[in-house]
Structure 1
Amino acid sequence: MFIDTSTKASRAKFYSSSSWKQLRKLCLERDHYECQWCKEEGKVTTLSSIDKHGNPVVLEVDHIKELEDYPELALELFNLRTLCKDCHNKRHKRFNYRSSKKKKKWDDEWW
């Protein structure tokens, strides 16, 4: 099956498809809802974990061989792995600029 991944809109359509959602669920179940990169480092990162920003962990399903480069592998379970959002961002060299909205208690005092 050919999957168009040439535009942002076509990728968005793919990621909202029932085929992707079913396969994503299978991947998460296979990986026991655990980040595979963290697991390799001896850390346990699951949905019940808290990230370094104090927020609940978000688990994402990553295409090992990039979707844009290998559209024929888009729906192949062997080409997928579960990563936490931080590891997924590292993998794609993206940075998580989620700023903390919580003001530190003593930030405004200097003594």
Structure 2
Amino acid sequence: MKPFAKKFYKTTAWKKCRSSYFAYRHGLCERCSEPGKIVHHKQYLTPDNINDPEITLSFNNLELLCQDCHNKEHHAIYGVIADGLMFDDSGDLVRREIE
């Protein structure tokens, strides 16, 4: 999560919105129908729009994704950063552990 968004993601408004959207989508990823995990903002949050509820809290700008689809979304936007890297459950880039 970006530093400018940390405060927003701790708000009661976001927590209620996230919970409601999760239930609205029956807990399933909108792309693959696996169990959803992340309520994703289709229009990414920026310092300029973080206070706009039409962007931050509108169901029209949300999508429930599983971790894999969320990772693919960010890889599609930013490209593959490097072999051996992945996004963790918080969306942070980390080194992939080799099994």
Q: TM-score, normalised by structure 1?
A: 0.61
Aligned pairs, number: 79
Using the TM superposition, name which of 83-92 and 64-73 deviates more.
64-73
SS at match of 1:37: coil
Q: Deviations over 1:6-33 (max 9, x none)?
A: xx33301111111110000011011100
Partner of residue 78 from structure 1, selected from 49, 52, 60: 60
Letter in 2 for 1:99: E
Q: Provide the C-alpha distance between the structure 2 equivalents of 1:37 and 1:70, rounded to a whole number of angstroms.
A: 25
Q: Provide the C-alpha distance between the structure 1 equivalents of 2:31 and 2:49, rounded to a whole number of angstroms.
A: 22
SS at match of 2:32: helix
RMSD: 2.4
In the TM superposition, what is the alpha-carbon distance from 1:81 to its structure 2 partner? 1.1
In the TM superposition, what is the alpha-carbon distance from 1:88 to its structure 2 partner? 0.5
SS at match of 1:92: helix
Partner of residue 40 from structure 2, selected from 39, 62, 66: 62
SS at match of 1:62: strand
Letter in 2 for 1:62: H
Q: TM-score, normalised by structure 2?
A: 0.67
The structure in which a higher percent of residues are helix is: 2
Deviating beyond 4 angstroms after TM superposition, the runs of 4 or more aligned structure 1 residues are: none
Which protein has the larger Cα radius of gyration, Structure 1 or Structure 2? 1
The structure in which a higher percent of residues are strand is: 2
* Residue 99 of structure 1: aligned partner: 97
